[in-house]
């Protein structure tokens, strides 16, 4: 076996709703064998068919985007190059390092050490590259429909967040904070190599955006929702990203207070072309809008 190869891999998340599914080519979107196009709101991760020389696949399953780290660049620089140059996403994406995957047997025939980063992009930023180099596509991580299946289970309180890429049990006296990946859940692995695990742990970090007093949009460095949105849209985004259902009244009390990062919008419901009855719309306050906060990209780690 030759010397180890250093690779950077990126789990890039975005949000898509089934009502605007027509804005992207459905041929490069995977919902899973038990789902269909009526998924409500969905959290997706960008995948591609292969990574060419970086980490070629050993099966017909898709993979997360990855690239070799060049001798003249840092690992973080390689991650940004992967997003900007190889995937072709024009907007600046805030990337956070997740962890190192260094199992000597993770890649057949050579030793490959992979440093994983994760980030979030708005749908309009990733839509132009879908179907591009190595057939960039989206794989469903979680959705309204997927959550609804767990909501009706008698053991729903046993879980601390669920997703197609894995779940965690809530710790109790005789059980730790145990995790299950897709292969452990009876559905089989979704992506090749150990990329299911990469998505799982990256998603667990993304959940922090909706924990405590953090403003989720500045944490993600993306607006995620349209300029004006319903409170129910924000709650659904919260639930799908966290992988658990919130209580409607409690969520409303937590969000609509004097220190809220949202305010009633001046945009009318008709401009949003949303189905259903007109509703009160909200927009991000200026201090909470990542597109107006230049300090967001001063540092890429917390």
Residue 140's pLDDT is: 96
> Which residue from 244, 79, 57 is spatially nearest to 161, judged by alpha carbons?
244
Residues 198, 270 within the same domain: no
- Say if residue 298's pLDDT is above 50: no
Highest mean pLDDT among 44-58, 79-93, 139-153 belongs to: 79-93
Number of domains into which the chain is organized:
2
Residues 225, 132 within the same domain: no
In this prediction, residue 273 has a pLDDT band, given cuts at 50, 70 and 90, of low
**What's the predicted TM-score (pTM) here?**
0.91
CATH number at residue 288: 1.10.10.10
Q: Is residue 223 part of a domain?
A: yes
Residues 289, 197 within the same domain: no
- Say if residue 86's pLDDT is above 60: yes
- CB contact at 8 A, 169 and 177: yes
Q: What is the pLDDT of residues 138-194, one digit of tens each?
A: 999 999 999 988 877 766 678 889 999 999 988 877 777 889 999 998 889 999 999
The domain containing residue 59 runs over which residues? 5-154+191-208
Q: Is residue 164 part of a domain?
A: no
CATH number at residue 44: 3.90.79.10
């Amino acid at each position: 076996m030759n010397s180890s190869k250093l690779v950077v891999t990126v789990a890039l998340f975005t949000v898509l709703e089934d009502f605007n599914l027509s804005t992207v080519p459905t041929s490069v979107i995977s919902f899973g064998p038990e789902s269909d196009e009526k998924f409500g709101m969905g959290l997706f991760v960008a995948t591609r068919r292969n990574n060419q020389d970086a980490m070629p696949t050993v099966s017909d399953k898709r993979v997360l985007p990855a690239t070799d780290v060049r001798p003249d660049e840092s690992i973080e620089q390689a991650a940004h190059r992967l997003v900007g140059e190889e995937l072709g996403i024009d907007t600046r994406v805030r990337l956070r390092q997740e962890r190192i995957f260094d199992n000597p047997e993770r890649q057949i025939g050579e030793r490959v050490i992979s440093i994983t980063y994760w980030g979030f992009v708005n749908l309009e930023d990733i839509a132009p590259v879908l179907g591009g180099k190595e057939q960039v596509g989206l794989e469903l991580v979680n959705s309204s429909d997927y959550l609804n299946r767990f909501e009706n289970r008698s053991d729903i309180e046993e879980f601390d967040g669920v997703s197609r890429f894995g779940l965690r049990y809530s710790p109790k006296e005789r059980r730790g904070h145990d995790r299950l990946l897709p292969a452990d859940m009876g559905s089989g692995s979704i992506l090749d190599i150990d990329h299911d695990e990469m998505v799982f742990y990256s998603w667990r970090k993304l959940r922090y955006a909706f924990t405590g007093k953090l403003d989720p949009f500045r944490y993600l460095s993306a607006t995620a929702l349209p300029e004006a949105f319903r409170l129910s849209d924000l709650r659904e985004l919260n639930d799908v990203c966290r992988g658990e259902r919130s209580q409607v009244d409690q969520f409303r009390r937590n969000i609509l207070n004097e220190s809220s990062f949202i305010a009633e919008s001046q945009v009318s419901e008709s401009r949003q072309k949303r189905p259903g009855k007109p509703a009160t719309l909200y927009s991000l306050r200026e201090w909470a809008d990542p597109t107006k906060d230049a300090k967001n990209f001063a540092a890429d780690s917390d």
